[in-house]
C-alpha cells in the first residue's frame, strides 16, 4: 500500500514538474559545424537563432565548431540531458547521431537540417537554395567574358551538386557557351584551402568565382585578382567590394520562429519541409552596381517567376556525357533532386 | 650584479616533477581564467562549468572516456616509435587505414557471427595500420628518407583513399548519394559493457596499455628499443639489429593506431564515413609528449585532454564562450607543461658576479 502511495506521489510530482516546465521558458539549442564568425553557413543559422531569442518565452544557446560524427552525438546528448526542449542541428553529418539521441529522448524535439531521416520526434528541413543558385548563375553567366566560371565546392554530395547544376543552368540561360569548372575542397570551412582552390580556378582562366563554402576565402581571391565573384550564405560584399556581384543567401529566422510557434502551440509534427524562394527562406542578396540594369531586370523577372511556381530543373537537361536525364517538357521530382549525383552538361569536373 | 644561470641536474627531478606538473596546469588555468575575464565571462564559474562538463558527472565521465579511447591508442603507437627516436607523425593515416581495414571485413561478411567477425576486423585493421607504419620505416632504413615527411605525406594518401572508398565503391546505396558506408551489422559492433555506457573498447585499451608496458619494460626487444633510442651507434655496436627494430616498431606503432581506427569505426560511429577523421592521430603526438611516453601517463593525459574537449562544449552551451577557447586552453596547458619540463631537467642558480 505504502509503495503504491509512494509511486502515486512520485508520478504526481513528475507531472507537476512537467506542467511547470510547460509554463517555463522554452530552451532551444543549436549545433553548428563551423564557428559562427564564419560569415557563412553557421553565421546565417545564428542570425535565425538570434531572431528566435527575441521571441517571448524562448531562450537559445548553441555549440559551434562541432565535428560531424561522435562529437556531435555527445553535444546533442548533453543538450537533451540539460533539458533543452528543441534541438536544431545544422549539418548533414549530424543526421545519424541525432537519430540515435532522438530515440533516447522521446520528449525532446529534434530538427535536422539537410538530411533525409526522420523519427516521431525528429523532423528535417532544408531550403531550396538551388532556386537562388539559378539566379546567381544567371548573373555570373551574363558577366563572364572568358566563358569560364570557377566554382569552389565543398563535398560531392547531392546538396552541392544540385547547387552547381542549378547555377550552371542559370548561367547557360544567359550565355549558352559558358562552362563551369568545379574544384572540390573536401571541407566546409577552411579559409586558406578555399582561397587556394579559387586561385587554381583563376589560373585556368575563370573570371567569375562562385562558391559553396562557408568562408569568404574565394571572395578574397577574386578581389585580389580583380575578377568577379558570387558569394554564398550571407551577403559577402564587405569581403570583396570590387568583386562581389551577388550571393544566394539564407534567411532562417522566419522558419525557426514558425517551428517554435508550432511547438508552443502543440501542433508540431515530425516531417520534412523544403521551403524555397516563395517562403523567403532563400534569397538573392542585392546585386552590385557592376551588374548591368538589363541583366538585373532579367534576374528579377526570373525570381518572380520562380516565386510564382516556375521550376528550375526543367527538361531537356543532359548530363556531362550528353545523355538526356530530364526529358523536354518534364521536370525533376523532389526525390530525384535530393539524390542528385550527376553534373549537367557544361560543368567541368567529376562528382567523385 | 647577479644573474640566473641554468644548470643541468645530475639526477632528473624525481617525485617533485609531479609538483612542477601541477604548477604548470594551475598556471595554464589561471591564464585561461584571465582570457575568460577578457571575454566577459565570470572566470570562477567558467572554470567550474568546464570541469563539471568534463568530469563532473557520470555522463561526462563516460563521454570523456569514449573520446579518450582513440587518442590513447594512437598515442600509445606514436610513443612506441618515439621511444626509439623514430618520428612517426603518421598515426592519423594509420588510424584511417585501420578503420578502412575493419570496415572492409564488416562490409564483406555482414552475416558472420561476432566471435569471428570482430577478430577478423581487428586483424585487418592492425595489418592495414601496420603496413602503413612499415612502409616509411622501410624507406627510412633502405633509402634514407626522412620518416617525418614520409609518414606525414602518407597521411594524406590514407585519408584520400578512405574518401575514395566512401564516396565511391563503398557508398551506401540507401544514402541518397551522401558519403558513408552502410551501417555495420550488429555482430561488427563493439558494444557497451553491460547496462553501462562504457564501451568494451576501454577493456581493449587497458589490455593494450598493459601489454605495451610489459613489452617495453621486460622484453628483450623493449630493452633494445630503449637502448637504440638513447644511442643508435652504441646499439649497432652492441649488435642490436637496428634496421629490423625500426621496421618492427613502426609496424607496431601503425598497428596500434589501426586498432584505434577499428574501435572508432566499430564502437562509436558504427560505419565508415569521412568525419571519422577528427585529428586524433595528431592529438596523439601532443598526448605522447605530455605524458613523457609513459603508458600510464598517456592514459591520464588522453583522458584529461578528451575531458577538456568535452568540457569546453558545456562551457559553450551554458556560458556561450566561443569554441576557439578550447583550443586556447589546450595550447596553454601544452605550453606550460612542456616549459615546466625545463625545471625537471635543469635547476636555476643565482650567481653573484663580482664586478
Residue A300 domain-assigned?
Answer: yes
Together in a domain, B103 and B250: yes
- Residue A9, pLDDT > 90, answer no
The per-residue pLDDT for range A150-188, each reduced to its tens digit, is 999 998 888 999 999 999 999 999 999 999 999 999 888
pLDDT band, residue A16 (cuts 50/70/90):
very low
What is the domain count for chain B? 2
Residue A268 domain-assigned?
Answer: no
DSSP for A85-121? Answer: SEEEE-SGGGHHHHHHHHHH-TTSEEEEES----BTT
Q: How far is B331 from chain A (nearest CA, A)?
A: 17
Residue A97 domain-assigned?
Answer: yes
Residue A256 domain-assigned?
Answer: no
Angle value at C-alpha A159, between A158 and A162, nearest 5 degrees: 75
Q: What is the dihedral of CA A138, A140, A146, A147, to 10 degrees?
A: -30
Q: Are B53 and B315 in contact (CB under 8 A)?
A: yes
The per-residue pLDDT for range B5-20, each reduced to its tens digit, is 888 887 766 677 788 8
- The values of phi and psi at residue B43, to 5°, are -65, -40
pTM: 0.86
Q: How long a stretch of residues is chain A?
A: 352
3-state secondary structure of A272: strand
Residue finishing a domain among A74, A92, A125: A125
Q: Is A251 exposed, middle or buried (CB count within 10 Å of its CB: 0-12, 13-18, 19+)?
A: middle
- Residue A38, pLDDT > 80, answer no
Q: Do B317 and A78 make contact, defined as CB atoms within 8 angstroms?
A: yes
- Residue A20, pLDDT > 50, answer no
Together in a domain, B262 and B334: no
- By percentage, how much of chain A surpasses pLDDT 70? 93
**Residue A221: per-residue pLDDT:** 96
Together in a domain, B312 and B326: no
**Residue A2: per-residue pLDDT:** 54
Q: Do B178 and A69 make contact, defined as CB atoms within 8 angstroms?
A: no
ipTM of the complex: 0.85
Helix pair angle (B280-290, B242-263), 10° resolution: 120
Together in a domain, B222 and B313: yes
Residue A325 domain-assigned?
Answer: yes
The per-residue pLDDT for range A230-269, each reduced to its tens digit, is 999 999 999 999 999 999 999 999 999 999 999 999 999 9
Q: Which residues of chain B have pLDDT under 70?
A: 1, 12-14, 177, 353-355
Q: For residue A28, give the CATH number of its domain.
A: 3.40.50.2300
Residue B8 domain-assigned?
Answer: yes
Together in a domain, A229 and A311: yes
A61 contacts in B (CB within 8 Å)?
316-318, 320
Residue of A nearest to B326 (CA): A65
Together in a domain, B87 and B30: no
**Residue A40: per-residue pLDDT:** 86
Q: How far apart are CA B190 and CA B264, in angstroms?
A: 9
Q: How far apart are CA A218 and CA A267, in angstroms?
A: 43
**Residue B263: per-residue pLDDT:** 96
Together in a domain, B2 and B128: no
Q: Do A35 and B63 make contact, defined as CB atoms within 8 angstroms?
A: no
B179, B275, B318 member nearest A157 (Cβ)? B179
Considering chain B, what is the average pLDDT of its residues?
91
B178, B278, B318 member nearest A71 (Cβ)? B278
Residue B291 domain-assigned?
Answer: yes
The per-residue pLDDT for range A51-94, each reduced to its tens digit, is 999 999 999 999 999 988 888 999 999 999 999 999 999 998 89
Together in a domain, A172 and A90: no
Together in a domain, B333 and B310: no
Together in a domain, A186 and A327: yes
**Residue B1: per-residue pLDDT:** 59
Span A16-30, mean pLDDT? 66
**Residue B90: per-residue pLDDT:** 95
pLDDT band, residue A23 (cuts 50/70/90):
very low
User: Under the phi-then-psi rule, with left for phi > 0, alpha for psi from -120 to 50, and beta for the rest, what region is B350?
Assistant: beta
Residue A339 domain-assigned?
Answer: yes
The domain of B34 spans: 1-41+321-355
**Residue A24: per-residue pLDDT:** 63
Q: How far is B282 from chain A (nearest CA, A)?
A: 16
Angle value at C-alpha B101, between B95 and B105, nearest 5 degrees: 145
| A137, A147, A209, A278, B111 from A295: Cα distances, Å | 12, 16, 18, 21, 60
Residue A273 domain-assigned?
Answer: no
Q: Do A79 and B317 make contact, defined as CB atoms within 8 angstroms?
A: yes
What is the domain count for chain A? 2
Q: How far apart are CA A273 and CA A288, in angstroms?
A: 32
- By percentage, how much of chain A surpasses pLDDT 90? 79
Helix pair angle (B114-143, B58-83), 10° resolution: 40
Amino acid at each position: 500500500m505504502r509503495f503504491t502511495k509512494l509511486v502515486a506521489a512520485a508520478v504526481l510530482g513528475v507531472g507537476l514538474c512537467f506542467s511547470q516546465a510547460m509554463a517555463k521558458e522554452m530552451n532551444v539549442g543549436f549545433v553548428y559545424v563551423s564557428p559562427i564568425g564564419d560569415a557563412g553557413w553557421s553565421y546565417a543559422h545564428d542570425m535565425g537563432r538570434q531572431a528566435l531569442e527575441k521571441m517571448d518565452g524562448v531562450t537559445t544557446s548553441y555549440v559551434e565548431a562541432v565535428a560531424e560524427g561522435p562529437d556531435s552525438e555527445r553535444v546533442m546528448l548533453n543538450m537533451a540531458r540539460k533539458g533543452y526542449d528543441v534541438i536544431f542541428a545544422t549539418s548533414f553529418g549530424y543526421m545519424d547521431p541525432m537519430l540515435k539521441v532522438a530515440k533516447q529522448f522521446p520528449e525532446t524535439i529534434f530538427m535536422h537540417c539537410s538530411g533525409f531521416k526522420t523519427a516521431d520526434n525528429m523532423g528535417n528541413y532544408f531550403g531550396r537554395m538551388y532556386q537562388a543558385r539559378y539566379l546567381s548563375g544567371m548573373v555570373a553567366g551574363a558577366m563572364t567574358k572568358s566563358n569560364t566560371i570557377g566554382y569552389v565546392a565543398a563535398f560531392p554530395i547531392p546538396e552541392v551538386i544540385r547547387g552547381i547544376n542549378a547555377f550552371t543552368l542559370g548561367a547557360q540561360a544567359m550565355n549558352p557557351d559558358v562552362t563551369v569548372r568545379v574544384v572540390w575542397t573536401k571541407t566546409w570551412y577552411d579559409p586558406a584551402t578555399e582561397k587556394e582552390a579559387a586561385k587554381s580556378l583563376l589560373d585556368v582562366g575563370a573570371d567569375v568565382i562562385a562558391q559553396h563554402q562557408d568562408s569568404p576565402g574565394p571572395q578574397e581571391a577574386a578581389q585580389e585578382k580583380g575578377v568577379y565573384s558570387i558569394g554564398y550564405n550571407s551577403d559577402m560584399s564587405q569581403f570583396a567590394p570590387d568583386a562581389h556581384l551577388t550571393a544566394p543567401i539564407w534567411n532562417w529566422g522566419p522558419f525557426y520562429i514558425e517551428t517554435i510557434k508550432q511547438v508552443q502551440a502543440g501542433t508540431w509534427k515530425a516531417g520534412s519541409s523544403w521551403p524555397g524562394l516563395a517562403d523567403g527562406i532563400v534569397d538573392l542578396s542585392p546585386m552590385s552596381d557592376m551588374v548591368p540594369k538589363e541583366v538585373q531586370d532579367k534576374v528579377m523577372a526570373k525570381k518572380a517567376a520562380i516565386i510564382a511556381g516556375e521550376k528550375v530543373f526543367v527538361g531537356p537537361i543532359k548530363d556531362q556525357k550528353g545523355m538526356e536525364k530530364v526529358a523536354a517538357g518534364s521536370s525533376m521530382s523532389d526525390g530525384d533532386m535530393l539524390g542528385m549525383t550527376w553534373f549537367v552538361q557544361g560543368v567541368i569536373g567529376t562528382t567523385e | 650584479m647577479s644573474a640566473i644561470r641554468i644548470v643541468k641536474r645530475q639526477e632528473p627531478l624525481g617525485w617533485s616533477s609531479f609538483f612542477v606538473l601541477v604548477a604548470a596546469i594551475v598556471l595554464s588555468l589561471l591564464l585561461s581564467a584571465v582570457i575568460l575575464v577578457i571575454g566577459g565571462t565570470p572566470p570562477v564559474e567558467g572554470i567550474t562549468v568546464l570541469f563539471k562538463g568534463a568530469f563532473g558527472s557520470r555522463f561526462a565521465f563516460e563521454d570523456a572516456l569514449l573520446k579518450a579511447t582513440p587518442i590513447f591508442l594512437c598515442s600509445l603507437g606514436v610513443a612506441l616509435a618515439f621511444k626509439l627516436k623514430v618520428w612517426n607523425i603518421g598515426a592519423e593515416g594509420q588510424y584511417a587505414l585501420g578503420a578502412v581495414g575493419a570496415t572492409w571485413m564488416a562490409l564483406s561478411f555482414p552475416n558472420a557471427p561476432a566471435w569471428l567477425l570482430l577478430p577478423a576486423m581487428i586483424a585487418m585493421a592492425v595489418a592495414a595500420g601496420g603496413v602503413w607504419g612499415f612502409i616509411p620505416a622501410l624507406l627510412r632504413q633502405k633509402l634514407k628518407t626522412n620518416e617525418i615527411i614520409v609518414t606525414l605525406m602518407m597521411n594524406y594518401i590514407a585519408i584520400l583513399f578512405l574518401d575514395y572508398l566512401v564516396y565511391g565503391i563503398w557508398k551506401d546505396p540507401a544514402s541518397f548519394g551522401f558519403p558513408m558506408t552502410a551501417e555495420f551489422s550488429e555482430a561488427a559492433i563493439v558494444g557497451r559493457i553491460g547496462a553501462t555506457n562504457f564501451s568494451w573498447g576501454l577493456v581493449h585499451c587497458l589490455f593494450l596499455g598493459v601489454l605495451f608496458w610489459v613489452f617495453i619494460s621486460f622484453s628483450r626487444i623493449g630493452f633494445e628499443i630503449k637502448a637504440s633510442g638513447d644511442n643508435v651507434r652504441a646499439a649497432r655496436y652492441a649488435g642490436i639489429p637496428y634496421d629490423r627494430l625500426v621496421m618492427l616498431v613502426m609496424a607496431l606503432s601503425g598497428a596500434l593506431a589501426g586498432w584505434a581506427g577499428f574501435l572508432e569505426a566499430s564502437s562509436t560511429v558504427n560505419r565508415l564515413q569521412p568525419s571519422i577523421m577528427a585529428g586524433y592521430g595528431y592529438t596523439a603526438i601532443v598526448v605522447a609528449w605530455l605524458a613523457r611516453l609513459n603508458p600510464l601517463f598517456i592514459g591520464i593525459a588522453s583522458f584529461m585532454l578528451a575531458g577538456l574537449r568535452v568540457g569546453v562544449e558545456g562551457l559553450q552551451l551554458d556560458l556561450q564562450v566561443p569554441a576557439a577557447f578550447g583550443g586556447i586552453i589546450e595550447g596553454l596547458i601544452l605550453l606550460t607543461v612542456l616549459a615546466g619540463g625545463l625545471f625537471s631537467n635543469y635547476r636555476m642558480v643565482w650567481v653573484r658576479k663580482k664586478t
